[in-house]
Amino acid sequence: MPEARCPGGRGLRTVRIMATTSVDRTDHPFIRQGASGARVTHPVLVIVLAQLLYLVGVLPGMLLLMPLAERLREASGPGAATAVIEIAAMLLNYVFPYVALWLWLRYVERRTFFSSTGFAFNRRALTGLLAGCGLALVFVAAWIGISLAAGTVVFEGALASGGAGMVWILVGGMLMLLLRIVMIGIEEQLYRGWMLQAVGLRWGRAAGVLVSSVFFALMHFFFIGTYLLPDGRSHEPHWVLMLNITLWAVFAALVTLRTGSLWAATGFHAAALILPGFLLGVFPAGQAEQAMGFLVFLIEEPGYYTGGAGFAGLFEGLPATLVLAVLVAGTAALERWRPRRHPATAPGQE
C-alpha cells in the first residue's frame, strides 16, 4: 500500500492511500485537508460510498422516526407537543446521514469530521453562512428580474397581513432556513467536502471540481434510495434542470475552494431554496391562494423552461441557467485574475 508524506500535527505524518498508486501534491490547503488522516479513500470508492452512506443515514428516519411521529400525531392530534415531536423527528432524520459519514472518516480515514471537510466551527462559520445567504438573495432577485422581463412571471402583490403576520412569517422562515442548513449540509460535506478532496488529491483541482459536480447532479436524479425506499423520489431528469444543478455544483465547488470552507456554499444552497417561500415568494399560478411572502410573484405557465414544474425551487428554468452561468464565470475569472491566498493551516487545527 503506497504512502505519502504530508504535514499533520507536530511534524510529518505518514498517510496511507487506499487502493491507489499516487497522490497529486496539490498546493490548495482545502484539498490537502483530505490527507490529514491515516488514510485517503480512493475517489472511485468515494463516488460509490457517497450515495450508500447517505442511504444508510436516511433509513432510520424514513423507516422508524417519521412513521412513529405520524402515529403520535394521529393519536394525540394537532398541538404544541405534537409539533415539538415532529420537529425533533425531523432533526434526527437530518442527523443520521452525518453519523454514517462520521463513522467512515473516524474509523477508516481516521481524521477530524468537521474541520477537515470544511465545517470548522470558528469565526468564519457565521460570516460564511451570511455571505452565502446574501449571494442567494442576489440569485433569487436576478431570477425574478429575468422572469419579469421575459413575461413568464407576474407580480402578485405585497403581503398585507399586519405587523404580527410579518413577524410570524419571518420567524417561521428563519426556522425553516436553519432546518434546511442542517438538512443539506451533509450533501455539501459528502460532495464539496469529501469527494472534492479525494478526487483533487489524486487527479488535481480541476478534476475535483468537475467530478464532484457531475456526481452531485446525478445523485439528485438517480439516487438509489428512490428505487429502494417506499417514499423515495428524485427530480425528473430534464436537461435544463440537470444543467442547472451541475452549474450550481461547479459554482459551489469554486466558492468552497476560494473560501476554504463549506459554509458559504451551504448558506447559498439553503437560502436559495427557502427564501422564495417566505421573503421573495415565487409560486406557480395554481398555488396563488397558498402563496406567502413579503413580495409575491406567480409563474403564469410553470414548466421546465420557466420554472415551477418540479420541487427544485428556483434552480429550475432557463432564468436559473443564465444566472448560474454568470456566477460560475465570474467566480472562475476572479480566481484566475485575483487568486486568494489561504493561510497555511495544519489539518484539523482550525
Cα-trace Rg, the chain = 21
Indicate the average pLDDT of the chain: 85
pLDDT at 164: 59
Task: Identify whether the C-beta of residue 233 lies closer than 8 Å to the C-beta of residue 226.
Answer: yes
Alpha-carbon distance of 260 to 20, in angstroms, equals 26
Task: Identify whether the C-beta of residue 308 lies closer than 8 Å to the C-beta of residue 293.
Answer: no
Q: Give φ, ψ of 165 to 5 degrees.
A: -65, -40
pLDDT at 227: 83
Q: Report pLDDT digits (tens) over 253-264.
A: 999 999 999 999
Beta strands in 139-279 (DSSP E): 153-158
pLDDT at 307: 94
C-alpha closest to that of 67 among 93, 41, 43, 42: 93
Q: Report pLDDT digits (tens) over 124-179.
A: 899 999 999 999 999 999 999 999 999 999 998 876 555 556 777 788 889 899 99
User: Count of alpha carbons within 13 Å of 128, Cβ hemisphere only?
Assistant: 23
Q: In 36-195, where does DSSP find H-type helix? A: 43-60, 66-76, 80-104, 123-150, 162-187
Mean pLDDT calculated for residue range 201-222: 96
Task: Identify whether the C-beta of residue 66 lies closer than 8 Å to the C-beta of residue 91.
Answer: no
Task: Work out the burial of residue 139: count CB atoms within 10 Å of its CB; fewer than 13 is exposed, 13-18 middle, 19 or more buried.
Answer: buried
Report residue 7's pLDDT band, with 50, 70 and 90 as the boundaries.
very low
Range of weakest confidence among 32-41, 57-66, 96-105, 236-245: 57-66
Say if strands 295-299 and 280-284 run parallel, antiparallel, or are unpaired: parallel
pLDDT at 19: 46
pLDDT at 289: 75
Mean pLDDT calculated for residue range 270-285: 91
For residue 64, which amino acid is it?
L
